[in-house]
Amino acid sequence: MTEALDAMLLIRAYEQQLIAARQPGHCSSLGQEACAVGVVQALGPHDLIVSNHRNAGHLLARGLAPAQLLAEVQAGRALHVTAQSLGVVLTSPSTGAGLGVAPGVALAQKLGAQPEGITAVFFGDGAACQGVFHEAVNLAATWRLPVLFVCENNQWQGDVHRRETMPGEFIADWVQGHGLAVEVVDGNDVQAVHLAATAAVAQIRSNGRPCLLELVTYRQRGHCEPDEPGCACGSEHAHWLRRDPIQREARRLQLGSDDLAHREALARERLGSAT
């Protein structure tokens, strides 16, 4: 029952270590752990992942050793990480670039030796405001490609709030005309994310058609470390902190503060022994 919580705690401990070290160039996904864990744990061993510049959660949830990821970060390659043995095809540092790659990856799966595999591509609401998003969705729908589009709608596009660039609340509204199955999910509820992702993966395997999950979440840090989250107003930040995915899952599991602190210590210990 605590597998998802422990995975989120490891990601959180890793991110906090880099924040404390003021590691430059790291794009934190602190607060978005439920998105990574809920989706990645719904994927199978033959499924592939295309990640973005907020990649730590996706990579660690897939099983990449923290020491390997930390070494890439310290070498200045945090935004270019791949893990072919784990099915992580690439991490793209350019906003939306992974969307242009994902249909090709899925086509190779469909025509290749692993037609049962799907491609999960992670992107943010900022990338969804670019033309490549619509091109990728159109191609995946037209060619019936096994793509799971995962939009981590974290409210902020760099230092610009999504309300300044989007006419509505949800990206999902934009793609229904392409015939995609879409679902908007509370991205700070790891169980809800996992259930939705499991259903979407099963649907893609069954009919070969792409799906979109929009995970409504919140980035608790600035755009790129060591920036503080200075753009958000205090009330917005406080609202989302009350909906922190780790605290919510701990409450669901009825863990007391001492139990949670113990599991947090175990995550830090695991991280320390790995690095």
Q: What is the pLDDT of residue 275?
A: 56
Question: In residues, how long is the chain?
Answer: 275
Report residue 203 as tokens. 């649907």
- Which band of pLDDT confidence, cut at 50, 70 and 90, is reported for residue 199? very high
Residue 143 DSSP label: T
What's the mean pLDDT in 222-250? 80
Each domain of the chain, given as residue ranges in start order, spans 3-274
pLDDT at position 75: 74
Identify how many contiguous H helices and E strands the chain contains and give both numbers. 11, 8
Residue whose pair of structure tokens reads 């790291």 in the numeric block: 26
3-state secondary structure of 261: helix
CATH number, domain 3-274, options 3.30.43.10, 3.90.550.10, 3.40.50.970, 2.60.120.10 = 3.40.50.970
- Tokens 């784990």 correspond to 86
The distance in angstroms from the start CA to the end CA of the chain is 27
Residue found under tokens 């139990």: 259
Q: pLDDT for 118-135, tens place per residue?
A: 999 999 888 777 889 999
Best CA proximity match to 252, nearest among 192, 198, 212: 192
Q: How far apart are CA 177 and CA 169, in angstroms?
A: 17
> Could you tell me whether strands 48-51 and 88-91 are parallel, antiparallel, or unpaired per DSSP bridges?
parallel
pLDDT in tens, 91-117: 887 788 899 999 999 999 999 867 889
Q: What is the pTM of this model?
A: 0.92
- Report how far Cα 218 is from the mean position of its chain's Cα atoms: 11
Does the pLDDT value for residue 42 go beyond 90?
Answer: yes
Query: Which candidate, 186, 182, 231, 189, places its Cα nearest to that of 209?
Result: 182
Average pLDDT score over the chain: 88
∠ at Cα 57 (63, 102), nearest 5°? 85
